[in-house]
């Protein structure tokens, strides 16, 4: 087992770009029906993602996966090492703030547990929703965020509420002691430096698409 203690290189922080690559490898290698046999070569993966095979081997080295000349890498071993390197094998709890359509859609996703995430509570301001459930999760009033999140040891807040209340909700989540916020609202949150924010701003996608529509379409 390749522990973090085992290789000094593992102490190095995995950069954003590398994280994305690992996630792509993971998604691809765990896709059913794509592979037969348990061996996969760096060039095969590289071809799939239209990248250089050296990059793949370096990535494998970073997370301590050893390959076999003439065979490649053991798929199951790569999957396991990515899970370990990214911490997908450790469990943590999240709370969703905003039991609207977006919150509902996000909770519908079935794959969270395989990423270690468990949704422990949902919050909403609408009194009519209180006490009911969403995807099997009880809906609590927003004012109870601090109390409930502390009791349930929630460490991630998922913001799916309207922009107007996003900052206020974030403040409560921070007060409750969450480490990170996954922000699906269009607000630019202001949080203490020790709280990590991942934004899923729709506007970045809109920009890329608009640009492609008007610049790229002609030559493609």
Q: Which of residues 63-102 bind DNA (CB under 7 A)?
A: 65-73
Q: Among its own copies, DNA, none, what binds residue 137 when CB lies within 5 to 8 Å by partner kind?
A: none
Q: Are 124 and 99 in contact (CB under 8 A)?
A: yes
Q: Are 40 and 75 in contact (CB under 8 A)?
A: yes
DSSP assignment letter at 13:
P
Q: How far apart are CA 3 and CA 194, in angstroms?
A: 26
φ/ψ (deg, to 5) at 154:
-80, 135
- Within 13 Å, how many C-alpha atoms sit on residue 111's CB side? 4
DSSP assignment letter at 212:
I
Residue of 35, 41, 115, 141 that binds its own copies (CB under 8 A): 115
- Quick one: which of 92, 93, 85, 80 has its CA closest to 4? 85
186 binds its own copies per the rule CB under 8 A: yes
123 binds DNA per the rule CB under 7 A: no
Handedness of CA 173, 171, 162, 144 (dihedral sign): positive
Q: Among its own copies, DNA, none, what binds residue 147 when CB lies within 5 to 8 Å by partner kind?
A: none
Tell the smallest beta-carbon distance from residue 56 to DNA (Å): 8
Q: Which is nearer to its own copies, 17 or 69 (CB)?
A: 17
The interface with its own copies within residues 69-108 (CB under 8 A) comprises: 86-88, 90, 92, 100-102, 104-106, 108
Q: Which is nearer to DNA, 46 or 102 (CB)?
A: 46
Q: Are 197 and 183 in contact (CB under 8 A)?
A: yes
**Which tokens in the block code for residue 50?**
């239209």
Q: Among its own copies, DNA, none, what binds residue 164 when CB lies within 5 to 8 Å by partner kind?
A: none
1 binds its own copies per the rule CB under 8 A: yes
Q: Are 173 and 149 in contact (CB under 8 A)?
A: yes
Tell the smallest beta-carbon distance from residue 22 to DNA (Å): 12
Q: Among DNA, its own copies, none, what binds residue 36 when CB lies within 5 to 8 Å by partner kind?
A: none
Residue of 10, 14, 28, 51 that binds DNA (CB under 7 A): 51
- Within 13 Å, how many C-alpha atoms sit on residue 122's CB side? 26
Tell the smallest beta-carbon distance from residue 3 to DNA (Å): 12
Residue of 74, 116, 141, 171 that binds its own copies (CB under 8 A): 116
Query: Which residues contribute to the site for DNA (CB under 7 A)?
Result: 15, 17, 41-43, 51-55, 57-58, 60-61, 65-73
């Amino acid at each position: 087992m390749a522990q973090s203690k085992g290789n000094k290189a593992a102490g190095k922080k995995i950069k954003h770009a590398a994280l994305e690559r690992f996630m792509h490898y993971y998604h691809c290698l765990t896709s059913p029906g794509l592979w037969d046999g348990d061996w996969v070569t760096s060039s095969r993966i590289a071809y799939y993602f239209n990248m250089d095979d050296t990059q793949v081997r370096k990535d494998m080295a970073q997370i301590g996966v050893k390959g076999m000349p003439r065979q490649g890498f053991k798929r199951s071993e790569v999957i396991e090492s990515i899970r370990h390197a990214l911490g997908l094998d450790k469990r943590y709890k999240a709370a969703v703030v905003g039991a609207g359509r977006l919150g509902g859609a996000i909770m519908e996703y079935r794959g969270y547990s395989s990423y270690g995430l468990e949704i422990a509570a949902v919050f909403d301001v609408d009194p009519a929703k209180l006490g009911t459930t969403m995807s099997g999760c009880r809906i609590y009033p927003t004012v109870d965020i601090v109390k409930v999140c502390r009791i349930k040891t929630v460490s991630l807040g998922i913001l799916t509420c309207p922009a107007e209340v996003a900052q206020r909700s974030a403040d409560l989540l921070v007060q409750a002691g969450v480490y990170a916020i996954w922000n699906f609202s269009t607000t630019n949150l202001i949080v203490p430096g020790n709280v990590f924010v991942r934004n899923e701003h729709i506007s970045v996608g809109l920009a890329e698409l608009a640009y492609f529509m008007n610049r790229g379409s002609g030559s493609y």
